[in-house]
Copies of this chain bind each other. A is one copy, B any other.
Amino acid sequence: MSLADLPDAIDLSHHLSVVARARRVSPLKSLQKYFGKSGIIQLGGGLPNPTYFPFVSLSAEVMVPESFTISPQPSSFEWLWKFLGKEVPYGKTTGISIPKYPTAPDDLNLARALQYTPAIAQPQLQAFMTRFVREVYQPAYANYAVLVNMGNTDGWNKALTTLCDPGSGVLVEEWTYASAMAAMIPCGVSPVPVRMDAQGMRDDSLRVVLEGWDEVQRGMSRPRVLYLVPVGQNPCGSTMTAERKRRIYDVCVDFDVVIVEDDPYYFLQMGAYVPREDRPSSSPLCGEEARYIASLVPSFLKYDYQGRVIRLDSFSKTIAPGSRLGWFTCHPVFAERLERQGETTTQAPCGFSQALVIKLLTEWRYEGYIRWLQGLGVEYRQRRDFFLDCLAEEFHLRITPASGGVWGGTDVYTATAKRGEKPGVMFSFVPPTAGMFVWMTLHVENHARFSAENQEPLEMELWTRLAEAGVLFCPGWMFAYDGFVDAPDGTVGSSNTPGGHFRVSFSNAELGDLRRAVEIFARVLGEFFAEE
């Protein structure tokens, strides 16, 4: 469908918070529309002359888009090197350079990138993001806006301020990103949990929560905002299917809810885990761009014919967290208010970062960046496989259908000790198909000292023993909505319990450390469950 055939967004301005409505166009910035007028002498703004920027040129050595293979051989030299060494050879590089003054007027240059600018992207970066959204996510309405921000933490905080008044609630998955809750709670905004299964938030549970909303019992009006991490969910690692997204979207249309799609792991989609004994020795991926993009689960934008999705994209996982660069794709009315907010808070993202990232992307070209993303996905797949292979070496893993709960609808791996007498299940997990995390349910109910009140203390006792033995996992209670607020009545979304989970990240550690961590985990866990 061409853009001309798509509808425009519907009016959603009633979703703006009191603060968002009250923002005015920063009066100084309103002069900026004259800045570009040819020949005008600008003595209005408080800008330093670029002569006084000490940076005369900036350059970098950057990796090439093909740096990571998309046809991995498990025994390849590169992979072995990673296993052995601390530093990885980065192979071929290429040089990029940004001068202070442009050779052609529209060229990227430091005199402009390092100057005060409106709270929007440099034009070259804006063009790149806009093309990327159109080709990769294909929003279902015509007049969406693309607006730069400083990554998804900044993006969520700005969306929150733009949409939510104190005393309101935000629908979240029953386990959700701890920092997202840490942003909303001090502002008087409460997380409202909705049940999950193996695909993340359940649309039937969402409908039940919204349909049965009792303002008096809940102490607040029905939530108008939904926050989720649909791909490689944080912390559970689950990934939402296209069909589930469509259903969630439909519920949000019925109840006039705005969806904030926090999606930093979108390009870390890696397919299903296949145990090592069944895995083909080589599994080349299709390098063809259109087929690669079609292989990814669609964004909520693909179903968003009304403009009620605020999508958060980030360069943190695809280039580097320190770039502090990401973007909103959303309704133009939301984008306008978000830009106003930027003017009096963050201003435009760092000029060094914008210049270096856009120069890298220009050097790589659009197709090169897509190729880079494919390579990253394969890297993460190999990391996940390696980590789970290590678990399979240290534990007896058995596959059984989940009885329900957060893993309802899929098979679960249960782990028992390979050595020792104790036969009980110590932990269980579902191999993620995207992202950075394995979410482990600790079967503390099989521990001799278990009691209903003792789950969280047992989790933290085990966590501390592991830390003392030299391994840090992330304790699960941090991601429980009731890790922050008292649970509501419990009829909905009460399947999470504060204790008995670890989030384990396979994204960062060197592979040798990852293996050692699993060995230590096996020893400590065995001793922990062997207690009488």
Contacts and interface: CB of A to CB of B under 8 A. Distances in A.
Given A27-B478, A186-B24, A153 B345 contact: yes
Contact of A356 (B55, B150, B372, B503): B55
Contact of A360 (B54, B234, B356, B507): B54
A82 interface: yes
Contact of A55 (B62, B187, B470, B516): B62
A45 B505 contact: yes
Interface string A18-45: 0110111011110100100001111111
Contacts of A57: 60-61
Contacts of A470: 39-41
A514 interface: yes
Contacts of A504: 43
A320 B41 contact: no
A307 B506 CA distance: 44
Per assembly, the copies of the chain total 2
Given A323-B352, A347-B151, A351-B323, A61 B56 contact: yes
Interface in A223-238: 234
Contacts of A39: 470
> What range describes how many residues of A lie at the interface?
35 or more
Contact of A472 (B34, B323, B345, B360): B34
B114 A505 contact: no
Interface string A83-115: 000011010010000001100000000100111
A509 B19 contact: no
A47 interface: yes
A81 to B, nearest CB: 10
A11 interface: no
A350 interface: yes
A221 interface: no
Contact of A516 (B41, B44, B117): B41
A295 interface: no
* Highest count of chain B CB atoms <10 Å: which of A43, A110, A353, A516: A43
Interface string A341-360: 00111111111111110001
Interface stretch (A177-185, A249-257, A409-417): A177-185
A442 interface: no
A322 B45 CA distance: 15
Contact of A320 (B53, B322, B323, B513): B53
Interface string A497-532: 000000111111110011011001000000000000
A48 to B, nearest CB: 5
Contacts of A26: 178-179, 182
A352 B346 contact: no
Contacts of A53: 319-320
A9 interface: no
A40 B508 contact: no
A13 to B, nearest CB: 16
A80 interface: no
A116 B467 contact: no
A48 B351 contact: no
A49 B508 contact: yes
A67 interface: yes
A302 interface: no
Contacts of A509: 41-43, 49
Interface in A465-487: 467, 470-474, 478, 483-484
Contacts of A46: 234, 436-437, 505, 507
Contacts of A117: 322
Contacts of A62: 54-56
Interface in A372-428: 372, 376, 379
Given A43-B472, A49-B509, 9 more contacts: A39-B470, A40-B467, A53-B319, A59-B60, A110-B322, A116-B321, A154-B346, A157-B344, A349-B350
20 contacts: A24-B484, A41-B520, A44-B473, A44-B474, A45-B505, A48-B508, A49-B507, A49-B508, A49-B510, A51-B90, A52-B376, A53-B320, A54-B372, A56-B62, A58-B58, A58-B60, A154-B347, A157-B344, A321-B351, A322-B348
Interface of A: 19-20, 22-24, 26-29, 31, 34, 39-49, 51-63, 67, 82, 87-88, 90, 93, 100-101, 110, 113-117, 150-151, 153-154, 157, 178-179, 182-183, 185-188, 234, 316-317, 319-325, 343-356, 360, 372, 376, 379, 436-437, 467, 470-474, 478, 483-484, 503-510, 513-514, 516-517, 520
3 A-B pairs with least C-beta separation: A322-B351, A114-B322, A350-B350
